[in-house]
Every structure is written in structure tokens, then in C-alpha cells.
Amino acid sequence: MSSPRGSVLAGLAPLKPAVLTYLQRPGLLASVGLLLLRLSIGVMMIHHGQEKLADPQQFANTYVASLHLPFPLFFAYVAGFSELIGSWLVILGLLTPLGALALTGTMATAAYQHILTAGLNIYVLELVVLYLGGSLALLLIGPGRFSFDAGMAPELLAGMETSSSSFESEWAERSGSLTPLAIPVKAFDRAD
């Protein structure tokens, strides 16, 4: 009987080529560029997350309340932890899509809040849009070769192949389904 981890990995086996392409596609120079982008966005966003968590009530009153969201203090903590944890994930290149998604979400919300309160004021929006663009680029392009994700992916995905075959045979045994067999077919001659 296979483990639950093996079952999950077997279900993800068709995604293996796409995941490897996402993590290892960029060349050397592009990967250096992605590393620099990850470091610059991550290091700067840590500051914003710490600032929110230093006085979450003030952030909730000043920014979250203007969005008319319920539980502003809760969303202040969500924003602060999203920026803090998301920044570390982006810096390390560990679960990068999750970290970049967290940063993208907070920056999209910040852009909306700034447009709502100040209109299309470029001086208010420029920093938010730069962070939003950078985190969205990391989300779409991937972390590059110099990341924990790219280093761990081949090993993790190698387990999919072995788990996939054991999962399929176990599934066939449990469900009682028939497995297809190749049957040789003899060509018939019309003269017979």
C-alpha cells in the first residue's frame, strides 16, 4: 500500500514537465537577473511587513478601514504576515510561487487602496506598482535556477515516476478494473 504522499505525487505526475520548465527554464544570465529581483523585492518588502506588524492597529485604522473591509485588524495582520513570510520565501526561492502570490496580493490591494483614496497620483502609486510588477513577474516567470525550488525540484519530481506506477497498479487492484493488453491481430485475406 502506498503512502498518502505517494498518492499525491502520482496525481501530480502529468505536471512534472511544466514544473521543471517553470523552475529551470531561464539561462544563466536570466537566472542571475531573477535572483537580483528576488533579493531586492524580498529585502525591501520585509521592512513593510515589519512596519505593519509593529503597530497593526494603526495600519488597520489608516489603510484597511478605508477599504471598508470587515475585521480591519485581522486584515492588518494578514497583510503584515503575507509581506514578512512572502518576502522570505521569495528571497530564498523556496515555495516561490506562494511567496510571490502573497506579495502580489498585498500590493494589488495597496494599489487599489491608493487609487481609491488618492486617485491616479503617480507619486503615491509608483512604489506600489514597482513592487506589484516585480512580484507578479516572479510569480509568472519563476524563481530561476539559483533557488531552493530549482534545486529541490528534480529530486522531488523523480519520486513522481516511481509513485505514479505504484499508484496506478494499486488503483487497478482496488477498483477491480481491467488493464489493457496488446492483442496481436492477424490480417485476413479476402481470398479465404
pLDDT at residue 160, as a whole number: 66
Rg (the chain; Cα; Å): 24
How do the residues of the chain divide into helix, strand and coil, expressed in percent and rounded to 5?
Answer: 80, 0, 20
| Contact indicator for 82, 105 with CB cutoff of 8 Å | yes
User: pLDDT of 29-88, one tens digit each?
Assistant: 989 999 999 999 999 999 999 999 999 999 999 999 999 889 999 999 999 999 999 999
The whole-model pTM stands at 0.73
Residue 51: predicted pLDDT = 94
pLDDT for position 175 = 47
Widest pairwise Cα distance in the chain: 93
Crossing angle of the two packed helices 28-54 and 72-92, in degrees rounded to 10 = 150
Helix (H, G, I), strand (E, B) or coil at 63: helix
Task: For residue 180, name the pLDDT band (cuts at 50, 70, 90).
Answer: low
Joined together, the cell numbers standing for residue 22 give 517553470
Give the residue with greater pLDDT, 14 vs 184.
Answer: 14
Contact of 87 with 103, CB cutoff 8 Å: yes
What dihedral do alpha carbons 8, 11, 17, 22 form, nearest 10°?
-50
- Under the banding of pLDDT at 50, 70 and 90, the label for residue 155 is confident
**Which residues contact residue 72 at a Cβ distance below 8 angstroms, ignoring those fewer than 6 apart?**
60, 61, 64, 65
Instruction: State the average pLDDT for the chain.
Output: 83
Mutual angle of helices 72-92 and 122-141, in 10-degree steps: 50
| Structure confidence at residue 50 (pLDDT) | 95
How far is residue 24 CA from its own chain's centroid? 15
Pairwise CA distance, residues 34 & 38, whole Å: 6
Q: Is the Cα torsion angle 12, 13, 18, 24 positive or negative in sign?
A: positive
N-to-C CA span, the chain: 52
Tens digits of per-residue pLDDT, 133-148?
Answer: 999 999 999 999 999 9
